[in-house]
Amino acid sequence: MIRILVVDSHRLFRMGLRKMLPESNGFSIVAEAENGEQAVDLARELMPHVVLMDILMPGIGGLEATVRIRRLSLDIKVVALTACWMNPFPLQMLRAGATGYLTKGVHQDELHLAIRKVYAGRRYVCGEIAQQLAVEAFDTSQGTPFNRLSGREMQIMLMIINCHKVSDISENLHLSPKTINSYRYRIFEKLGVTSDVELTLLSVRYGLIRPEATGLSELVS
């Protein structure tokens, strides 16, 4: 039986996964988490075989949660299962230690196949993501400026554009406010922006966040 931890902020989606992963097919969902912090705690307690991980969630989010879970044990395999199909998300999740990447539109049969493959120690990336990564490997003009960011920089950037204060980011990531500000200015330099507003507008342009979630709709309409 493959023991699975489901991590997603939407309860209805988690319920749907329980129907898609029945015990009769060799799957056992041992727990559910609605954010990255809960995911890390449950992974430490239960040591599941596979974690199905969303990316954009409250708190530390899926990227940081993936890093922390992989630090707990390399035997725990993380598969991104998310609506985020555009780079830099696939690249950053794979860099963070995910061994699989699926979009939420994946068919049930492919979900089963992906879980079994990563459980067996192999990687699995769904077709549309694999094609995107292959194209960008040969044609760098197809990428986004966010590919220049490290995993930690990407995590902090996501928290900034989701209106987290420096003090909140510092507490969540267990880093000093001075360190967070150093990362912040490094992010600005790499992306060629000079403020949180410019960073948010750039994120909207590349589809990392919806305009209505920023409070800046009038600037991007």
Q: What is 2-137's CATH number?
A: 3.40.50.2300
Cα–Cα separations (whole angstroms), residue 59 to 1, 123, 169, 184, 206: 31, 27, 9, 18, 22
Q: Could you state, in order of their start, the residue ranges of all structural domains in the chain? A: 2-137, 145-220
At 211 the pLDDT is: 60
Query: 145-220: which CATH topology?
Result: Arc Repressor Mutant, subunit A (1.10.10)
Reply yes or no on whether the pLDDT at 207 is more than 90: no
217 pLDDT higher than 50: no
Q: Is the pLDDT of residue 220 over 50?
A: no
Q: Which residues contact 216 (CB under 8 A, 6 or more apart)?
A: 197, 200, 201, 204
Average pLDDT over residues 73-91: 89
pLDDT tens per residue across span 158-189: 889 888 899 999 998 889 999 999 999 999 99
Q: Give tens-digit pLDDT for 11-30.
A: 999 999 999 999 999 999 99
pLDDT at 120 over 50: yes
Question: Please, what is the average pLDDT of the chain?
Answer: 88
pLDDT at residue number 88: 81
* Percent above pLDDT 90 for the chain: 62
pLDDT band with cut points at 50, 70 and 90 for residue 136: low
* Structure-block tokens of residue 207: 């589809």
Q: Is the pLDDT of residue 219 over 50?
A: no
Residue 137 pLDDT class (50, 70, 90 cuts): low
* Total residue length of the chain: 221
Residue 53: which region, alpha, beta or left (left: phi > 0; alpha: psi -120 to 50)?
Answer: beta
Q: Which residues, in sequence order, are CB contacts of 127 under 8 Å at separation 6+?
A: none
* End-to-end Cα, the chain, rounded Å: 50
